[in-house]
Each structure stands twice: as structure tokens, then as C-alpha cells.
Amino acid sequence: MFSLKSRQDLFKVTLPEEFIPEDINEKYSKLIDKEDSFIHKPIDFLNETIQGIEILGFTQAAVIQQQHGVGNWASSSATIQANRFLHAASDVSYRAEMNPLNLIDKTLRITFRHTLGFINYFLLLESFWTLYQRDTTPRQLPKFITIDIFGERGITLSRIIIYDPIIDGVDMLSLNYTQPVAQSQTFNCEIKYSNIEFEFVDNTSIKGIEFYDKHVNRPLNENSY
């Protein structure tokens, strides 16, 4: 049965394996293993520290113009014809001429929980440095990020796929001697993307990650690879 009340915690964001470069992955795998964690892969560790996301907002989808002879003039039963505004105009809304995809704010904002030692923060920071080096080719960059939305029974109801994710910014690291007790703190990472896909799915038609890997739509020219 569908509920008329939403739950904002029924989702899963999956950052892909290539989100962490190979050398950074090897470095942090050793660090995580030393901590005797039940998680051994850095990408799983990073995904596990995701607390929330913001995505899919759009604006300026309407263009407003003043048109003469559209709408009713302001008048009363006592208004005589000579006192009517013959040049009256009204605001009329039209659909914007832009591609609807260009109206979407192509930003994925991910909120991460800080961990002891800020391991996930530096993991993300070092990955950013490596991915943005000039000798890193487009083929080595992440191809997509998936976001699954679950129903009350834990079944995937819909899936959002963003293509060509690029890290656009990360919050500054805040350290303070006035907070000697461990507290739950977060930091944000903003990711820009080039294209987006949305689909309704059910437990009989969930596509594997390899499906999207074969159907990546990149805006870049193949020759630039």
C-alpha cells in the first residue's frame, strides 16, 4: 500500500569504483585494514559515510511577456467606455524556449558524515587532486552515479542516474580546540553533471550497474579520449 507520508531516508547513493583513483585506493585500503573495520574497500567506506543528498531542482521554466488585449480590464459596473484603458496589457506566461534539461540545476550535493581522523574527507580530497591532474584522461573519470529510491518494503521504485559527474567543490575542514568531545558533524561535496536519466523500476526489472556502463552517453567527442 502506498503511503501518503514520505520518508527521506529510503535511498542509496552509489559512487562508482573509478571515483577513487587506483593509487589512492591502494593507499587507503591499507589504512582501513589497520582499523579492523568490517569495510575493506575505500569506495564502500566513502559510500557508507553519506548522510544525505540534494538533487533535481529547476527554475526559470516560464517566460513572461506583456500582451495587449489579453485579459480583462480593471473596471466596475459604473465605469464608462471613455474611462477604460484602451492600451491595457496583461502578463502572459509562456514555456521557455530552452531545452528542459538545461533548466535543471545540474548539481548533486552530497552531505558526508565526518569520521574520526577525517579519513573520508582526505580520501575525497586526494581523489580530487588525482582526477584533476592533466595527465588523467577522460576515460579514467567516473562515468555515472546512481541513486536508488526505495519503497516501504525496501524495493527499488525508481532510479536516478547522473552522467559525467565532476567534483565542483568541497566544504572547508573545520577544527576547533573548544570542542574536545566527539560530535556528529558533516561536510558537503558538490558535484556537477552533464546529463541525467530517471526511470521507474521494480524488483523484476532492476538493471545491473554494468548496463549503465555500456550505455553511457558522454557529450565529449570520442576523439578526445
pLDDT tens, residue by residue, 88-116: 667 788 887 778 778 888 899 999 999 88
Q: Are 73 and 176 contained in the same domain?
A: no
Domain assignment present for residue 5? The answer is no
Q: Any idea what the CATH number is for the domain that residue 152 is in?
A: 2.30.110
62: left (phi over 0), alpha (psi -120 to 50) or beta: beta
Residue 1, domain member (yes or no): no
Chosen domain end from 76, 95, 114: 95
Whether residues 194 and 137 fall in one domain: yes
The domain in which residue 68 lies consists of 62-95
Average pLDDT, rounded, for the chain? 79
Q: How confident is the model at residue 198 (pLDDT cuts 50, 70, 90)?
A: confident
What pLDDT score was predicted for residue 72?
A: 53
Q: Which pTM value belongs to this model?
A: 0.73
pLDDT attached to residue 80: 56
pLDDT tens digit string along 11-41? Answer: 889 899 889 998 899 999 888 888 777 788 9
Q: Looking at the DSSP assignment, which residues form a beta bridge with residue 99?
A: none
**Distance separating alpha carbons of residues 176 and 4, to the nearest angstrom:** 43
Condensed to tens digits (0 to 9), the pLDDT of residues 132-188 reads: 887 778 888 889 999 988 877 777 888 899 999 999 999 998 888 887 776 778 999
105, part of any domain: yes
For residues 110 and 52, state if they share a domain: yes
Q: Nine-digit cell at 214?
A: 555500456
Residue 19 and residue 128 in one domain: yes
Residue 167 inside a domain? The answer is yes
The answer to whether residue 83 sits within a structural domain is yes
Q: Residues 82, 181: one domain?
A: no
Strand-by-strand arrangement of the 166-170 sheet: 50-54, 107-113, 186-192, 166-170
Q: Are residues 54 and 66 in the same domain?
A: no
Q: Is 2 within the bounds of a domain?
A: no
Beta strands in the chain (DSSP E): 11-14, 50-54, 62-68, 89-95, 107-113, 144-150, 156-163, 166-170, 186-192, 195-200
Domain stops at, among 95, 114, 145: 95
Phi, psi of 211, rounded to the nearest 5 degrees:
-65, -45
Q: How many domains does the chain have?
A: 2
Give the pLDDT score at 223: 43
Q: 208-221, pLDDT tens digit by residue?
A: 666 666 555 544 44
User: What Rg value do the Cα atoms of the chain yield, rounded?
Assistant: 25
Position 51 in a domain = yes
